[in-house]
Amino acid sequence: MRWLGGGSVGLVRIRFCGVRVFKLISVKSVVDDHLYINCGGGVASINGTEYEADNETLGGSSHFFLSPNKKWGYSSMGSFSESYPGWWSPSPFRSPSPSQSKYLSYKTCDLNMSDAILYSTARIAPISLKYYGFCLKNGHYIVKLHFAEIAWNQQRGLNQTKLSSTLKRIFNVKIQDKQVMTNFNIVEQAKGVDQSITQEFEVHVNNSQLEIHLYWAGKGSTGYRFSQYGPLISGISVHRVKDKLSPLVIAGIVASALLIVALALLLLWELGCFRKKGLHDEELKGMELLSGSFFNARQIKAATQNFSPAMKLGEGGFGSVYKGVLLNGTAIAVKQLSSKSGQGIHEFVNEVGTISALQHPNLVKLLGCCAEDNQLLLVYEFMENNSLAHALFGPNEVRSRLNWPTRVQICLGIAKGLTFLHEESKLKIVHRDIKPTNILLDKDFNAKISDFGFAKLYEEEVTHVVTKIAGTTGYMAPEYAMRGHLTNKADVYSFGVVTLEIVSGKNSTSYRPNDENVYLLDLAYVLQQKGNLVELVDPSLGSDYSSEQANTILELAMSCTNPSPSLRRPMSENLVALHKKGHQMPIVLLKLSAKRLKNSIPSVDCSAEITR
């Protein structure tokens, strides 16, 4: 699919049997977690759920249909035989369309099952019938396929028992290219004609697309009139289920975590962090990284020039941060905590345990630790551009490097890191202290989240009320600061405040706009009400930025700081929005090939949204 004429039209290229066809369609891609189709019929409401219409009369001969909302489509292949026995009626069913179709079946009488409206219609195909769901959220889904044999009616005294023994509709079903039903006979499974049956399957969507393939494999009746053989289906319902870890996996994770913590504590305080003194520099050089995660005090002191003030990078939550250089030339950052502080010890153990279990390009990497000489030390990879706070509020020569594309890149990096912590990691984490001093920048100004001393494990099913509030004033969400209610939406709020700081270049905790506005977020609310939110943009940028892009990113930041946590979007949605607003839309080509059924689905970009 290619965007044409300013991005409001998609060009679909379809190839069937060597013939290339082009079709223009307007597209609005939406990520959904459900799909309901009334196969062969019109729009239907069943128990509060609206099933979409599927009454296109065409089918067979390599036909492909895309729904009006572009959320699903179907392909039909093959040709029906027109022969039928002498006792059989020429019109065994009625079509819901003015022109009778071989590919739809319709019946309104003698249906006594619940939800009869769903089973009163059906779509039929001679050989192959494929349904596609587009732009679905990745994850686990329950797929329900609804069947009822309504294409066979009693004709000229032939009862249903004789009918079902004479005619046999048999077909196979695959979902996501996996065989789920073989030699499926609707009449046999439903215990008769005009009886309904539902088959339920659990499937996984990992590329935003779902494929349901019903196909005739050469078994059953073939010498009868069309509608008497080939796959038939009355309805499709698809809904997403939350990914839950099995009890066995949870037990394994908990046991592993406890074992790691126990070993870490044992090695820290008794074995791993104490080494013989008097070793020569050459011996240290060979042992620095050989021990894996543990350093001794001599190594750290030598690397930081005995914690020289000239090597000091800044202050952290519970201590100072120094630059160091190991004897092999590796640059490191050393976070120094006081072992006499109860908070420092807790943060030290928490940070070692948390970061050791998490690996992501936008999370700072922990190289090791040390607990000697009454000191607790954490050793990280060195970030050449220090912290975001240093870049935003430090010397002018550093601030001058923060051009507009770099600021957008930093916002994206923070969003990616938080999305991983909240949704993609097996252990869901709430950071609790997102602020500029805890965002580090590498040589290319890629953002990496650091300082996990306050981090907490988060479970959606558990109500989180903490009695001990931890974090930084000005960045804490109101529901957490005032009532101790902690969810991952607290990090979303902090992200919104930090985004305002990145765009404006102003410190949220110390900036006092005027006598009427107390702090940065207060000023942002006032400007938003006046429709002048773009006035927050850092004046040092001059005119070297897109005012439209800046305004949309500022609006995103304001939505993240909504006082109501339920109205804040999760980080994954904020990340998608940032991609849309911070980068140009990708060019996506929607292809369809009937030569190979496996490649016959259009490739739809679910992150792209095209305005009509």
- Provide the annotated active-site residues: 433
Cα torsion through 518, 519, 522, 526, rounded to 10: 80
Backbone angles phi, psi at 10, to 5 degrees: -110, 140
Alpha carbons 134 and 4: distance in angstroms, whole number: 21
Cα torsion through 201, 205, 209, 215, rounded to 10: -30
5: alpha, beta or left, given left = phi > 0 and alpha = psi -120 to 50? left
Burial state string for 4-42 with b = 16 or more CB within 10 A and e = fewer than 16: eeeeebbebbbbbeeeeeeeeeebebebbeebbbbbbbe
Angle in degrees, 0-180, between the axes of helices 489-504 and 571-582, rounded to the nearest 10: 30
Is 335 annotated as ligand-binding? yes
Q: The tokens of 167 are what?
A: 């005619």
Contacts 24+ apart (CB under 8 A), 369-374: 369/268, 369/273, 369/293, 369/294, 369/295, 370/273, 370/294, 370/295, 370/296, 370/297, 370/299, 370/300, 371/268, 371/269, 371/273, 371/339, 372/273, 372/274, 372/296, 372/297, 373/297, 374/339, 374/340
Distance of alpha carbon 421 from the chain centroid:
12
Q: The tokens of 261 are what?
A: 């913590």
DSSP collapsed to 3 states, 496-555: HHHHHHHHHCCCCCCCCCCCCCCCHHHHHHHHHHHCCHHHHCCHHHCCCCCHHHHHHHHH
Q: Report which of 267, 303, 269 is spatially closest to residue 284, judged by C-alpha positions.
A: 303
Per DSSP bridges, beta strands 456-457 and 210-215 are unpaired
Q: Report which of 168, 242, 251, 166 is spatially closest to residue 202, judged by C-alpha positions.
A: 242
210 in Cβ contact with 202 (< 8 Å): no
Residue 569, CB-side half-sphere exposure with 13 Å CA sphere: 15
Computed on alpha carbons and rounded to an integer, the radius of gyration of the chain in Å comes to 32
Q: The tokens of 182 are what?
A: 């073989």
Q: Report which of 366, 496, 346, 358 is spatially closest to residue 434, judged by C-alpha positions.
A: 496
Alpha carbons 266 and 583: distance in angstroms, whole number: 49
Angle at 603 between CA 597 and CA 606, to 5 degrees: 145
Residues at the binding site for ATP are: 335
Residues at the binding site are: 335
